[in-house]
Amino acid sequence: MKSIKKFVSSTLIVCITAAGLPFSAQARIVATEEIAAPVASLTGSVTRDKVNQFLVRDEVRQAMLGQGVTPQAAMDRVAAMSDAEVAQLAGRVDQAPAGGDVLGILFTVFIVLLVTDIMGLTKVFPFTRSVR
């Protein structure tokens, strides 16, 4: 019993002494972009490829031409979108049933193109006036 008490007391002395030692720590403010950039670049390139593959499909091209949007203008617009916008559009592509609801996705592309036209980032539609 005496050896157990001696062992426990020795262990406690070492632990309490070690707890009192100063440990060095480094602290700095980390910007969100530093943490999110590597993940966003991977995710952004994958989703951008997914949207571009969707836009090169024949039925999508025909529907875009029916709406008065050239496929090249849509591809340029996707290239000009932020990663968040592309991720949202890719999410809509994933939700669309295979071979169906192409109009919903085209409507989303049309709205994104329209909003960026109104904001003055691009000039695709002649009937919009830029805010800038």
Q: What is the pLDDT of residues 44-82, one digit of tens each?
A: 677 788 888 888 888 888 888 888 888 888 888 888 887
pLDDT at 97: 57
pLDDT digits (tens, 9 = 90+) for 6-24: 888 888 888 888 777 777 7
Residue 91 covered by a domain = yes
- Tell me: pLDDT of 39 over 60: no
pTM exceeds 0.75, yes or no: no
Looking at residue 38, its pLDDT comes to: 58
Q: Which domain holds residue 64?
A: 35-118
Residue 63 lies in a domain: yes
User: What pLDDT was estimated at residue 101?
Assistant: 60
Asked whether residue 130 is assigned to any structural domain, the reply reads no
**What average pLDDT does range 24-34 have in this prediction?**
77
Mean pLDDT of 39-48: 62
Q: Is residue 10 part of a domain?
A: no
Q: Are 131 and 115 in contact (CB under 8 A)?
A: no
Whether residue 48 is contained in a domain is answered as: yes
Q: Is residue 26 part of a domain?
A: no
State how many domains the chain has: 1
Are the C-beta atoms of 116 and 130 separated by less than 8 Å? no
| Distance in angstroms (rounded) separating the CA atoms of residues 89 and 112 | 9
Within-domain flag for 124: no
**Residue 105 belongs to a domain:** yes
Q: Under 8 Å CB-to-CB from 89, ≥6 apart: which residues?
A: 47, 51, 78, 81, 105, 108, 109, 112
pLDDT of residue 132: 63
**pLDDT at 32 exceeding the cut of 70:** yes
